[in-house]
Amino acid sequence: MLRNREALANATDAEKQTIADLIAQRNNETRTLEQQKETWDLLTDTTYNALDGLILQGKSLADVMDSVAQ
């Protein structure tokens, strides 16, 4: 951290802006990955629950689709 701070102290305004842009891009990528993971987890849970309802609980497809829609 200290080494980075010392390097930034000598950076030009353009270099500082470039670094800020890179940090913002990285933060956006991290947020996007987190959102994708949440979406994947939701899809996985929904699929599991649907199959569980069909196979283990003997529900009809219509009942399962109703619960997925909710």
**Which residue, chain included where needed, has tokens 């200290």?**
2
Whole-model pTM: value is 0.64
Please say whether the dihedral angle defined by the alpha carbons of residues 18, 23, 26 and 27, taken in this order, is positive or negative: negative
Cβ–Cβ contacts within 10 Å for residue 2, how many?
A: 6
pLDDT (tens digit, 9 = 90+) per residue, 31-51?
A: 999 999 999 999 999 999 888
> What average pLDDT does this structure show over 12-28?
94
The neighbour count for residue 64, using CB atoms within 10 Å, is 17
One-letter amino acid of 63:
D
Q: Show Cβ contacts of residue 64 under 8 Å, excluding neighbours closer than 6 positions.
A: 50, 53, 54
Who wins on pLDDT, 53 or 39? 39
